[in-house]
Structures are given as C-alpha cells and as structure tokens.
Chain A
Amino acid sequence: MTDSLLQAGSVKGAAWRRPLEAIFLPMAALLVALVIFGGFCALAGANPFGVYGSIYKAAFGSWSAWQNTLIRAAPLMLTALCTALPARLGLVIIGNEGALVMGGLGAVVVGLGLGESVSPLVVQLAMAIAGMVSGGLWIMLAGALRHYRGVNETISSLLLNYIAIAFLNHCVEGPLRDITFTTKPSSAELNPAVWLGTLPGSRIHYGLIYGIAVCVLAYFLIQRTTFGFAARTTGGNIRAAKIAGLPVGKLTLAICFLGGSAAGLAGMVEVAAVQKRVNESLVSNYGYAGILVAFVSRHNPLATVLVAMLLGGILASGGILQRSHNLPDATVLVFQGIVFLCVLFSDSLYGKLPWFQEKMIDE
C-alpha cells in the first residue's frame, strides 16, 4: 500500500506532476459537478447544454459579466481569510459573519463620528482601521476563549455571530438610528466624500483591490515569514511547537486577530462601497460563503482569490437561470452545493491517482 508514496527521494518529474495534479483534480471535479448538475436540470425540465452556456455567459462571457462576478467575489476573498488563516494554526473558526458585521459597524461609527472634520482620505483610512480592529478583536475573543479557557473555538465563534447580529440590530434600532430614513432601521448615511469609488472604466468597487492585496499579503505572511512558519508548525503539532518554545498563546491570538480583521475589512468595504450606511442588509451570507471558499481553497490565500471568483461567477449566473430557463430560484444554490461537494471530494484523491504518483526509478 505504501510503496510508491515513500519514494520521495528518488523521483522523476515530481516538479511538474505536483502542480499538474493540483490543477487536474479541481478541473475534473468541476466537470463531474457539471454532469451531475446537468442531470438535475434535465429533471427540472431544462436543456443542460443551454444551461451551461447561460452560466458561462452570465459569469464570464463578457466584460459586463466579469464585472458582475468580480463584484460578488470581492467580499468573499476577505471573509474567507477569517477561516483560512486560523486554519493554518489548526483552528476551525466560523465567526466570519460576526466579524464582518462588527467591522462594518465599527467602520460606520468611526466614519460618522469623524464626519467632515478631517480629509476624506483620512476618514477612509480610519474606517478601514476601525473595521479591521473591531472584526479582529471579535475573533480574537474566540481565540482567547480557546487558549485560556479551552472553549471550542468553532462553537464560540459561531455563537459570536448571533451576538454580533443582535448587537447590530440593537444599534440601528436604537442609538445609531436615523429616524428620517424610512426604508429600514439604519444608521445615518456616510458622507458621500468617503464612499469607496469604482475602478476606472468599470462598476467594480475598490473592495476587489483590497481583497486581492490582502490575500497576497496573507500568502506571504503564512508561507514566507517566521511568523507564518511558527503558525504552520503549531498547526502541525501543537505539543511539538510548545516543546520547541513557540509562543502558542500569542500565535493563537494574533492569527485570530488577523483573520477577524480581514472579515472586518470586508464589512468596512461593504458599508463604504455598497450600502453607504449600516443596517441589517450587512448580514447577507458573505461570511458563511467565505467559510466555503476557505475550505475549497484548502486554506491557501492565493487559491482563495480564484475560488472566490468561481463562487462569484456561480452566484452571478443565478438570475439568468431563473429568467431564461424557468428554473427555480434555489437552482443556483444546488449548483453551488454540487460544485463544492465535488471539489471537497476530490480533495481525498490527492496522491491517490497512479498517474500523478511519484514513481521510483527502476533497476
């Protein structure tokens, strides 16, 4: 059973087989998912090939479709890091939604508080910092509970989501409420000067740049710094890390803070670029979708960018499935579920397909 897995020393072509495997498996998974989804469409009375064509056109078929996809992908890149970073330390954090909410709330409080007293750029910077700090502290709370009291971080971060959402509702229905805005209980509107604009020649807001930049930074932090190395070591074997003298407690708090601040930044972007004020619409599943993105990208911050774009494309095609094919509105969720299930399943195939196995040189 183990013969060919242990031949790492005497390998030919390993340099390209590895990356090839990492490309081939997700692609094959995607193909399988399309076949299964095609069956579903046929059952629902739509022509699968027509549906594939529509999905492609609506997600990646034109510049306008690409913009739609990227707008949806931008917040997911950031919220995914809230799960992906702590995962490198062996923690399963799912408090993304709560961190995003706290980040959005913090950013709006600071944005409204500063008003027009300082230049808009300073306000934007302060809002981003406020969003990151409030989101970061929120998840750090789960990390602290884990480290000092041994509370399961998955459960505590999940419960923190509900607290954050309740706190948001309390704020916008009480202390922060703008009575003149009748659409729904909301804070006052941010000064238009501090809104995040769109990239030149497009309708994509700057959140996309934030997302990609933060993902690249996170990649370097984890793969190329001593901090990242220490975190990965701790994730690999916490006892060994302790014996080696790594500050496990500090690492736990720091990485939880970083994860939470990424989601908090997503909240800041959402209020500053899209909603312009804070209200219950901030709770729209970006956080939970981020968990999915993190797991599918195997907690690799660079892969997160691509997976977020894939999910963004799937979500962007949701409308056309309803309008052109008379499929029910849940179809896009079915497709999303099948794709991610297949990709996660393909995860178990790494190192198991003979063609990608490292072969020993005979004789």
Chain B
Amino acid sequence: MSPRNVIRLSRRQVMRGLLAATAFGAATKLSGCSPTASSDADGGSASADGEVVVGFIFVGPKDDFGYNQAHAEGAQAMAAVPGIKIVEEASVPETSAVLESMRSMIEIDGASVIFPTSFGYFDPYMLEMAAEFPEVQFFHAGGLYEEGVHPDNVGSYFGYIDEAQYIAGIIAGHTSETGKLGFVAAKPIPQVLRNINSFTLGAKTVNPDITTQVVFTGDWAEPVKEAEATNSMADQGIDVVTCHVDSPKVVIETAEKRGIYSSGYHANQGPLAPEGYLTGAEWDWESIYTFLGEQFVAGKSLMAGDIEHVLRGGLADNFCKVSPYGPAVSEAAQADADAAKQGFLDGDLVIYNGALKDNKGTEILAEGDKYEQQNIELEKMDWLIEGVEGSIGS
C-alpha cells in the first residue's frame, strides 16, 4: 500500500547537478590541460632489460615557456639517446611530495638516475633521498655540490647563463632609444643579481650612461605582478625589458602589447613577440643532458668517479645559448653581440672587470682586478652594479 515514490528530486535539480559536473569536466579539459605531444617519445611502459631509467621532476608544467620547458626539452633530448628511458613528473611542489615522487620513481619504475630540476628540491629533499638510496645517482641544476659535505651519489650542473645575458645587454643597449632598460626579477638571490648585473654591464659597453630599472616581484611565478611591473616600466619610458622569473611569457607578451622591445630568458620566447623580441638568454640543457645520457649508458657514474660532481660551463661549453636575433636588431648590434660571443667562446672575455662600483657607490673591484667566471665571489653576489636602479632590500 505504501506509496512508492520516484526519486524525490525535481528534474530541474538533477539537470543542474549533471550540467555542473559536465561543465566542470569540460572546462578543465579545455583550459590548458590537454596532453602535449612531447611526452609520447617513450611510448608506453614496456622497457627492455638493460635500459637505464632516468627520472625527471619539474616544479611546474612542462610547457611554461620558461624554466621547466627548458629542462623538459633537455629531457626529451636525453630520451633520444639509445638505451635511455625517461620517466617524468611535472608540477611537483617543494614539499614531502617530491620525496614521494623520487621514491616512487626509484621503487616502482626502477630509476637509477634522478634529475630533480627545481633549485629548491636540493636541500633537504634530494639530500635525504641520496642518503637513503646510495646506489642511485642524483643530479641537481644549481651547482650547490660541495665535496666532503654532500653524499658521493650527488652531482650538480649549472651554466654561466649571465654570459648570454651580457650579450642580450649589448643588444638592448644598441636598441634602446631612451637609454632606460627594465628588469623584472623574482627574488634578490645571487643568481638573479648576477643576471641583472651582467645584462647591465653588457648594455653599458654600448652606452655608459644607460640605466636598468629592477623590480622584484617576490616570487618565481607572480603573473599579475609581472604584468604590472612591465606596464609601469613602459609608462616610465623604458623601452627594453627582460626578466628572471620562472615563466617569462607574461613579461614578453605584455611588452609586445605595449609596443616595446623585450629580451627573453630560460627558453626561446620569440614566437610570443614576433616584432619586439630582440634576443634572449636560453639554457641549452639538451647538449648536457645528451652528454650525461651517453655516460649513463656507458655505465659511468658519480660513485665510480667517472662523472664529475660539478659540471659547469658557459656559452663555450654549450650550457647556454643566445636566442636567434629578432627583426629589430640592427647590424651594428649584431656585430657587437657576435664579437662578444666570440670572446666568450675563445675564453678571453671577462664580464666583471675593475674598476666596478655598486649602485650605492661602494667599490666592488679595484682598477685592474677582475672576477673570472668561475670565481666563487660571483656566487655570493649581494650587490647591484652602478647603473641599476633598485635595491635588494635587506
């Protein structure tokens, strides 16, 4: 007798719920998380015996037009080495999540080499894992390895990308009509300051009175602040901007929209600004990753001592490169830039040559002194060179 009710939900309620769920699915699907073709190279999970499995971990997406893309392209180059199989994970935060990712790559995928590519993975995460898995090699981009302090299975590699920034500075100095350059930077740490200073020194070889306005956004990925900084630079009459943030995309696109010139970083952003892109300082991880891949296949390792613990180099060693020049780069600029590049390739050009002062008037280098590229002082940099407008705040 009891009335058997149909589900007590109005049709409208059901429709609303279903629509919300599908719309959500569709929106996430369409908004930039469609799979990229780049990861198809290793084709499935079947790995033949004897393959060396190499794990790559990125802190952000692999197609960010920046830091992670540069490493991801390098990883693809390593995957092309016969005998290497790579496994990748993107968007892994610098927390216990990266510990779990490394462990899972080692225990489940059988990785014998790990590249945690973000600078912040090193301490404590990578060091903890290296201590726990002494038979696995860990390579870190950043040059922080210290002999005797860090485990034997840890290595680091890093490039003197400020050489490319110096060349970009020369081109910026030639191109700027107002004599004012802009630099959107993330954090005042030595690497970033070194790029700012080298860029400015390059520009000053062309125009000694040129200035570089620096804005620190405070973090590696702050798209809104990066756009604001670029816009305010354009408003101030700055006509060439460059940056050191994780993804230069926003800065380059904003500059293009405002009709000013831009110089890239990490990877080639030329396609984002076909008119105003001058050049850029790019990593060339492909050559170093291919080199290391060949070493692994040949059975060499850090522990055996046949791979060096610290690999460093600049333009001459293919650790970095300069983006192809854009259409706005004059012939005079190209000539000077190419001459500087040749200087680096020959090893006779030194960026930090006395006499140099910082922007507070303190002497950094006396007349006749210089800091060679390998000088450890450069890795502790806590000053901005004369001609830079801005302060590091501490």
Q: Which of A130-138, A209-217, A244-252, A345-353 touches B?
A: A345-353
| In the complex, chain B residues whose CB is within 8 Å of the CB of A327 | 35
In the bound complex, residues from chain B placing their C-beta under 8 Å from that of A40 are 25, 29
Contact flag A181-B6 (CB < 8 Å), given A71-B100, A341-B21: no
Assuming the contacts A326-B35, A327-B35, asked whether A284 and B5 have C-beta atoms less than 8 A apart, the reply is no
Residues of A whose CB lies within 8 Å of any CB of B are: 1, 3-4, 36, 39-40, 43-45, 58, 64, 68, 71-72, 169, 173-174, 177, 181-185, 270, 274-276, 280-281, 284-285, 315-316, 318-320, 322-324, 326-331, 333-334, 337-338, 341-342, 345, 348-349, 352-354, 357, 359-360, 362-363
Check B5 against A348 for contact (C-beta < 8 Å): no
> A143 to chain B: closest CB distance in Å?
29
5 A-B pairs with least C-beta separation: A330-B33, A329-B90, A329-B91, A352-B8, A354-B5
Contact of A182 among B8, B107, B190, B393 (CB under 8 A): B190
Which of these, B13, B100, B120, contacts A184 with CB under 8 Å? B120
Question: Given A329-B89, A354-B7, A284 and B24 touching (CB < 8 A)?
Answer: no
* Smallest CB gap from B95: residue in A: A284
Contact among A316, A337, A352, A357 for B9, CB-based, below 8 A? A352
> Does B25 lie within 8 Å of A338, measured CB to CB?
yes
Q: How far is the CA of A328 from the CA of B91 in the complex (A)?
A: 10
Please give the distance in Å from A324's CB to the nearest CB on chain B: 5
Task: Indicate whether A177 sits within 8 Å of B124 (C-beta atoms), given known contacts A281-B93, A322-B90, A352-B7.
Answer: no
Could you tell me if B29 and A331 are in contact, using CB atoms closer than 8 angstroms?
no
A-B contact pairs, 23 of them (CB 8 A): A1-B8, A3-B3, A40-B29, A64-B103, A72-B100, A174-B394, A183-B123, A184-B120, A280-B219, A284-B97, A316-B100, A323-B105, A323-B109, A326-B35, A329-B90, A330-B28, A330-B33, A334-B25, A338-B24, A341-B20, A345-B21, A348-B13, A357-B8
Which single residue of chain B is at the shortest CB-CB distance from A346? B17
Which single member of B9, B32, B33, B97 contacts A315 (CB below 8 Å)? B97
Contact partners of A353 in chain B: CB under 8 A: 7-8
> Known contacts A183-B142, A316-B100; can you find 5 more A-B pairs with CB under 8 A?
A64-B107, A72-B100, A319-B100, A333-B33, A359-B2
Q: How large is the interface on B (under 10, 10 to 19, 20 to 34, 35 or more residues)?
A: 35 or more
* Cβ B107 vs Cβ A183 within 8 A: no
Most buried by A among B7, B96, B393: B96
Minimum C-beta distance from B176 to chain A (A): 31
User: Is the beta-carbon distance between A274 and B95 smaller than 8 angstroms?
Assistant: yes
Q: Which one of B13, B24, B62, B100 contacts A68 once the chains associate, using CB atoms below 8 Å?
A: B100
Residue in A36, A177, A315, A363 with the greatest tally of chain B CB atoms within 10 Å: A36
Q: Is the CB of A354 within 8 A of B6?
A: yes
Other-chain contact of B218, A169, A285, A349 (Cβ < 8 Å): A169
Inter-chain CA distance A292–B88, complex, in Å, is 28
Partner of B123, one of A181, A285, A362: A181
B94 A284 Cβ-Cβ under 8 A: yes
Chain B positions within 8 Å of A181 at CB level? 123
Closest CB-CB distance, A311 to chain B, in whole Å?
13
User: B187 on the interface (CB 8 Å rule)?
Assistant: yes
- Contact residue among B17, B32, B100, B189 (Cβ-Cβ distance under 8 Å from A345): B17
B292 at the interface (CB under 8 A from A): no
Interface string of B218-235 (1 = CB under 8 A from A): 110000000000000000
- B34 interface contact, C-beta 8 A: yes
On whether the beta carbons of A323 and B24 are closer than 8 Å, the reply is: no
How far is A341 from B18 in the complex, measured between Cα atoms in Å?
Answer: 10
A331–B33 touching, CB < 8 Å? yes
By the criterion CB–CB under 8 Å, are A72 and B97 in contact? yes
Contact status of A320 and B393, CB under 8 A, knowing A4-B5, A281-B120: no
Tell me if B303 counts as interface (CB < 8 A to partner A): no
- CB <8 Å contact, B25 and A362: no
- Which of A45, A315, A328, A331 has most B Cβ within 10 Å? A328
For B20, B25, B39, B122, which residue has the most chain A Cβ atoms within 10 angstroms?
B25
Within 8 Å of chain A (Cβ to Cβ): is B205?
A: no
- Could you tell me the distance between the alpha carbons of A40 and B33 in the complex, rounded to whole angstroms? 11
Name the residue of chain B whose CB is nearest to the CB of A363: B1
A334/B88 contact (C-beta < 8 A), A320-B108, A345-B17 known: no
Tell me the nearest residue of chain B to A3, going by C-beta. Answer: B3
Which residue of the partner chain, among B2, B9, B34, B40, contacts A360 with CB atoms under 8 Å? B2
Candidate in B103, B107, B108 with the most chain A CB atoms within 10 angstroms = B108
User: Are A362 and B2 in contact (CB-based, < 8 A)?
Assistant: yes
B32: chain A residues within 8 A (beta carbon): 330
B96 and A72 contact, CB distance less than 8 A: yes
The verdict on B133 contacting chain A, using a C-beta distance below 8 Å, is: no
For A362, give the chain B residue with the smallest CB separation.
B1
Q: Give chain B residues whose Cβ lies under 8 Å from the Cβ of A182.
A: 144, 189-190, 379
Q: In B169-199, which residues have CB < 8 Å from any A CB? A: 187-190
